[in-house]
Amino acid sequence: MKFFFDLLPVILFFVAYKVAGGHEEAALELARSVLGDGIEARQAPILIATAIAIVATAGQIVWVWLRHRKVETMLWISLAIVTLFGGATLLFHDPTFIKWKPTALYWLFAATLLGSALLFQRNLIRKLLEAQLSLPDGIWHRLNLMWALFFALMGVLNLVVAYQFSEATWVNFKLFGGMGLMLVFVLAQGAWLSRHMEDEQT
């Protein structure tokens, strides 16, 4: 359930883009009524989807706050980034900004993991998982590095898809490609960790 909740803005972004793309005249009328008359039909789907993503992320924070009276820092960061890049897309009617948003978030994750380890000797992956896993110090270090590299490469891959393929392909990749690669990475990492956990127990 939490996994779906975390992905909700991305899912709504995808759905809004597809629905708007299938109803061009209505999407254009809606976009122009909110953002002004200088919008072309081809721009309307990405602009509507971007606005939906911003509202959905803000809605997540409101929901979490009402239920728990506390909001995780990462959710605030996600709102700040989607508002910054999405707001620029809406203001300038340019999808380039929102296409950079996943890369900015991925690279922020990578920088945080590496920076915490190098500057403060804090392994954030260990802090997150050590209650569930018992691993040698060296494996924790490699695990943290693997996640940082994964996020860094995901940021690069997002830009490759954004600039080398169509906008529709990028929207599909944003949901299915990102989620699929994350799942493959987690499964591969689980298989790798199981070997080390077995070594630890023997």
- When pLDDT is averaged across residues 116-142 and rounded to a whole number, the result is 89
Q: Tell me how far CA of residue 168 lies from CA of 19, 36, 191, in angstroms.
A: 12, 23, 34
- Return mean pLDDT, the chain: 92
Per-domain boundaries in the chain: 1-93, 95-202
Q: Give the per-residue pLDDT at 202.
A: 46
**Tokens of residue 142, six digits:** 């490699």
pTM for the whole structure: 0.89
> Does residue 58 have a pLDDT over 50?
yes
Residue pointed to by tokens 């699929």:
180
- When pLDDT is averaged across residues 53-78 and rounded to a whole number, the result is 93
Residues 7-45 have pLDDT tens digits of 899 999 999 999 999 999 999 999 999 998 889 999 999
Query: Hey, what amino acid is at 15?
Result: V
Residue pointed to by tokens 């898809």:
161
Would you place residue 135 in the very low, low, confident or very high pLDDT band (cuts 50, 70, 90)?
confident
